[in-house]
Structure 1
Amino acid sequence: MDIQTETLAEEELAAITGYLLPSKQIHWLSINGWQYVLTRSRRPIVGRVYARLKLAGVKPSATNAVAETWTLDLSRVG
């Protein structure tokens, strides 16, 4: 079983952007409004939760990027 990290692997980023070259990936991420950070070697790093939200069509924010707490609501139970 593969263990997923908090950031996308190079192969995953290439699959999303369609590019293998980091410079092309950076261009694609910028054009499409994705947030990323660059490593010292100028490779883009994208967070896994952020990418999942973007791919699902949800605008990532600080509130939806963390697990929501919930409580049991029995007010409608008759």
Structure 2
Amino acid sequence: MEMQRETLAEDELATITGYQTPSRQIQWLMDNHWQFVLTGARRPIVGRMYARLKLAGVKPSASNAIAEAWTLDLANVS
């Protein structure tokens, strides 16, 4: 089983934006209010969790972008 990267691959970003060229991808990301960073080669990088939230229609924030911590509760088990 292949482990997913923390950032979108180039082909995934091209699928979302509809553009292969980094400059057009950047313009699409800005027009659609997506957050991204640029590499030294001026290619946009988008986080996988951020993209999932945006595509689901959820406004990404610090509170919903991290996994919820949980603990095992055996109080009701007899």
Q: TM-score, normalised by structure 1?
A: 0.87
Opposite residue 58 of structure 1, the aligned amino acid is V
Which residue of structure 2 lines up, in the alignment, with residue 57 of structure 1? 57
Aligned sequence identity (%): 71
List aligned pairs for 1:2-17, cutoff 5 A: 2-17=2-17
Any stretches of 5+ residues in structure 1 without a counterpart?
A: none
Letter of the 1:47 counterpart: G
One-letter code aligned to 2:9: A
TM-score normalised to structure 2 length? 0.87
Gaps of 5+ in 2: none
Aligned equivalent of 2:28: 28
Which whole-Å CA distance do the structure 2 matches of 1:10 and 1:31 have between them? 19
Q: Which amino acid aligns with 1:7?
A: T
1:67 to partner: Cα distance: 1.1
Aligned residues: 73
Show the counterpart of 1:44.
Answer: 44
Superposition RMSD on alpha carbons, in Å?
1.4
